[in-house]
Amino acid sequence: MNRAQRTLPQMLAVQAERHGDRPLLTVGDVTWTFRDAANVAARRAGMLAAAGIRPGDRVALLLGNRLELMELVLACGWLGAIAVPINTAAMCKTAGQKRS
C-alpha cells in the first residue's frame, strides 16, 4: 500500500473489498463485518461534516467503552478530524458524575 492509500477511508475500503462479510468486531450482541465498518465510518463522518466538523478539528468523545465510541473514532479518521476520547472514569462532579 503506497502512502496515498494509507488514509482510513482507503484502508477500510480495501479491507471491505478483501474481507467483505467476515466478522471484524463484536461488542455485546452486535457484530460488524469489514464492510459494515466502512459503511458506518462513512455515514458517521457525513453526520459529523453536516454538524460543521472539518478535517483537523478536534472532537471530544465523552462516552464509555461502547460501539458508539468505535463509530466516532472511525468517523473522525474518515473525515480527517482528530478524535479525543475522554476517560469517563476521570469525570468530576461538574460533569454530572461522582469520582470514586
CATH code of the domain covering residue 42: 3.40.50.980
Domain ranges, residue 73: 3-95
Predicted TM-score of the model (pTM): 0.82
Residue 77 lies in a domain: yes
From the centroid of its chain, how far is CA 7?
A: 14
Q: What does the pLDDT profile of the chain (100 residues) look like in tens digits? A: 666 668 999 999 999 999 999 999 999 999 999 999 999 999 999 999 999 999 999 999 998 888 999 999 999 999 999 999 998 776 666 555 555 5
Residue 35 maps to a domain: yes
In this predicted structure, what is the pLDDT of residue 65? 84
- Domain-located, residue 42: yes
Domain count, the chain: 1
Cell of 36: 459494515
Q: Is 33 exposed, middle or buried (0-12, 13-18, 19+ CB in 10 A)?
A: middle
Per the document, the length of the chain is 100
| pLDDT of the residue at 91 | 64
In sequence order, which residues have a C-beta less than 8 Å from that of residue 52 and are 6 or more positions away? none
